[in-house]
Structure 1
Amino acid sequence: MPRRRFSTAERTALYLAADGYCQVCGTALEAGWHGDHIEPHSVGGPTEILNGQALCPHCNLQKGDTYMRLRKWQEDGLRKFLGTAGDFLAVATPGAGKTTFAVQAAKAMIDRGEIANIVVIVPTAHLRGQWAKSAQRGAGIKLDSNFVNRNQQIARDFDGVVATYQSVAASPLLWRKMACDPRKPTLVILDEVHHAGDSEHLAWGAALSEAF
């Protein structure tokens, strides 16, 4: 069986590479910090420093089993996404894994401390549950798929919400208030955004511009 634990020399190298700080949350590492496999050992990740990182126990335990191996285009797209501060358009064929890409992009921003909330907007109601399940399964992200406008704000026990374009069109100023609060940086994901440009849904596009 391949070894699971990093050697003393490897742990020292990981600690020095992290400059003594958790590579997810940035807190100073204390005695008992974890040598973590970036690609989990359980899915074949090798026990070597190139696949290792120094994490505080909390971040390593939070990571759990949410690792997901990405396709080549998803890895390339994620690097490009994390390298830009503006809007980002991802275009891929049906079944290529656009939802997985978006979920992992959101997780990366959470891990880097860049966002505090996630708002996902979808064209149909049945996609709300699918999105919530994908986010929970793929990254441990909890999205409220039952959110309605009268709730006024995202519940504290959720990382964000999934709603429809119709909901935004019904109250764009509410969504602007939720998504543009500087105290809670928010990532907005517009799933199948081309629907907002359809001639029969011109109100959707106007509401998105006003809300986000």
Structure 2
Amino acid sequence: MNLPKHQTDELVNGCMNNNRAAQESLYKLFYADMLRVCHSYLPDKELAKEAFNTGFLKIFQSIKNFDKEKGELGGWMRKIMIFSAIDLCRKELKFTSLTLQDQDKDEFFISPLALERLYFEDILANIRLLPYATQTVFNLYVLDGFTHKEIADQLNISEGTSRWHLAEAKKKLRELLDPSRPNDQRTERSVKAK
């Protein structure tokens, strides 16, 4: 969400001065967007809320470090929420060290036809079927543009493990989104995956 410069300045200055009205306004303005960010990393609603609350606490504590010349307030807040969700993922999830075999290095193709048929909620529902660790790496790489090195640093895993999780996510999503498979087979597989 891009706010006008004067509104950003007013909110940031108010929050720096611990003005409760400014903090409440900032919270209400970004509530839905930031909670959505946490939900994209943590499918469990309680964990997502925990990351969200921790993220907002970090935002209020470090708002004095926000530099409007370097970026937009919403983007800065989003990054804090992502890192809060990742921190919670690290505590809750177990990442194993895995590496890609040479034959597994091929990129997996998902048909554009399959993607055209899906809405965001449908895609998110299929992403949710992935194991947490694989889902987290997929979200960081595909949705938020992190590199494998950045993901490895954030999750305390090797770059090879990050690549493996991404390849595994693409492979499983391709299976789930395969338009040649009848809907009842995809649904049946989705139920088994849960």
Q: TM-score, normalised by structure 2?
A: 0.28
More helix by share: 2
Higher RCO (Cα < 8 Å, 6 or more apart): 2
More strand by share: 1
